[in-house]
Amino acid sequence: MTARPLRLGVLISGRGNNLQALIDACAAPGFPAEIALVVSNVAGAAGLDRARAAGVPVAVVDHKAFPGREPFEAAVTAQLEATGVGLVCLAGFMRLLTPGFVERWRDRLINIHPSLLPAYKGLDTHARAIADGARFSGCTVHFVRPDMDAGPIVVQAAVPVAQDDTPETLAARILTSELEIYPLAVRLIAEGRVAVEDERVRIRDGSALPAPAVNPPPGA
């Protein structure tokens, strides 16, 4: 018997670039997950149009319509549970989540952040990496914990920082990697290959490590 695809709930607030990557991945034959629902706290979010164009159900839960974060999150959870969501994916969701929500979805809630966590948590990650002279930046998919941009790391991609990079050019290159690793993380989880042990992710049947990257390369 073929296993039922893992049902995803994707939370967005804006353009939905990473949402589109998940939509495209889920449309591929044999991908072990499907998007059950896209929830936005912004009625005009462009990502909603991406979901509708793909035939994915959407819901708008406007945080401004609620007296606080907990009632808003309760409404979001009700939408997710009503559609049988097993994994919640934050994809540009611009609301801080309460510990109660995070614990309710513990180890079933992932986020993508544009840095190599634990470095550069928070905002302005690209500008900070450039200002520090970092030779690499990148992006991270991780399980969410109550602390901001914290939690067991599932997948990371390292992106070299060019000497003439601006925050905008670095962001564009890192976004390309984001669009690759978010579906990869979802696939690993949906295949049952991810386990959280002592707040570290273990990947079952993991492949060999890639070769080390050097920036600037030897002989440059």
Catalytic residues: 113
Residue pair 32/40 in contact (Cβ under 8 Å)? The answer is: no
Phi and psi at residue 96, to the nearest 5°: -70, 135
Asked if 16 contacts 47 with a C-beta cutoff of 8 angstroms, the reply is yes
What's the one-letter identity of residue 101? F
**124 Rama class: left (phi>0) / alpha (psi -120 to 50) / beta:** left
AA letter at 70: E
Cα 85 to Cα 126: distance, rounded to the nearest angstrom: 33
Residues 179, 23: contact at Cβ < 8 Å? no
Nearest to 85 by CA among 188, 31, 192, 8: 8
Quote the tokens at residue 208. Answer: 């060999």
Handedness of CA 179, 19, 193, 137 (dihedral sign): positive
- Residue 57: what are its φ and ψ, rounded to 5°? -60, 145
* Radius of gyration for the alpha carbons in the chain, expressed in angstroms and rounded: 18
